[in-house]
Structure 1
Amino acid sequence: MNQTHSGKTAVSGHDLYRFLEVKTPFWKWIKRMVSYGFDENDDFIVTDKNVRDETAFGNHRKIKDYILTLDMAKEIAMIQRTDKGKQARQYFIEVEKQYRRPKPMTATEQLLLATQSIGEIDERVTKLEDTFPISNAQQQELNQLEHAVAIKHLGGMNSNAYRKLKGKVFSQGWRAFNRHFHIPRYCELPKLEFEKGKEYLKMWAPDTDLRIEIQEANGQTNMF
């Protein structure tokens, strides 16, 4: 825990990362955290940091570190949803109370401050969570729905079209889905868009050329 030139409490991104025991590589993790609505030079700055490394020249090497404001560190701890995250959040809340305290506070005042701080964080976390990618369970639900819709258009799992064209139909369905929601992969659909995603899949149909291939594979002559 340090202070910036303006007197604000600051937290090392690497220190917080190690405390939280995150399994993802630091650079992937910190970039994802930053993408949740934080601004450089407002919520954090990027700086060089010397760390000890016995294999490096002079036993030290230089790395990039993210220096976070207390508010940003607190919110990052909150959204981890782990015991370590809860511990870090409580610690930051206590630090925040100490720095905000102009004079000794009564127990009632301390409780009020803590309640207000947590309330503000919870509100922002709720907004952040809406931008999070859908959960594994939601991914599975979309997968099952897309599978069912594709099978219906193929004429069932026992159809010739299913045996010959299922990969093509599945692939076209997901490409259309990703293009509609402006995402690289369906698993990155924001939670806020989950219900819309389900409705889209229910309404999706193969394009005309693919429908013709399906009907020819199934020995049908009519398109509709």
Structure 2
Amino acid sequence: MSANLPIPAEFAEIAAICVAAEGMIGNRSALTVNARDLHTGLQVRRDFSNWIKGRVSRFGFVEHQDFESYADLSSPDLASPKARAQETKEYRLTLDMAKELSMVENNEKGRLARRYFIWREQQALSAQPSVSVAEIERRMMQALGGMVKSVVNKQITPKIEQLSQKVDGVLAVRPAGVAVTSSRTARGWLQHYGVVKRKRGMSQRVSSALKSLSFRMGYVVSQTAEEGKLCFHEVVANAYFGVGAGRHLLPKTVKDQKEMGLEPAPSPFTKTPA
């Protein structure tokens, strides 16, 4: 069917009122019809504003998907000296929505309008240039290549860029060139420093404190391989329990840092050690 095919005689009247033209619905271009024109073409007796609002509400049409609403400034009546321009709310409908509105009117005008919109869609489709098989294959390969690249970037590349290995049952993620050291959970460090009896919630509070201190000192927070619990670098733990807030949690039997083998507090890093 040619794009310049004359409009069939049976559609001449409705086509003159409901002009199907290219318009934007959401972020896509589509054939659209002005709702006020459709209201006129269908010869609906209800006033336009109540009619379109009622149809949208009753049939669940979605803005930016089935239609677009916009404000339009009407021209004043030049014959009346007191007439002023007024702002009206207009609606731009997709042909699918226009067909459904036409059908639910359940009269001859509605059935005629629906057939016209179907004919208009067929005309638009036939006017589109055909795509060769080679072009279709090229597009498919391009899309497939993009999908593969996305999978590689999301799942494989991060694992290549970060060295991962198990240390004492812990999956330690560290930058290249950094020596492997002991990492433990908050509970593990509490046990290591002799805190056997713990109050409820102590492990969680210590974990939060070690996490915050790790970020400030520039050390990576890793996770256990099985349970995914947070683990912390021994240098961070030494600083927290040796000279930080955690020193008050140590048992009274611990006399000084040397008895626990604690290291002096390190200087803070501005970024992850390299």
- State the TM-score, normalizing by the size of structure 1: 0.42
Report which of the two has the higher share of strand: 2
- State the TM-score, normalizing by the size of structure 2: 0.35
Report which of the two has the higher share of helix: 1
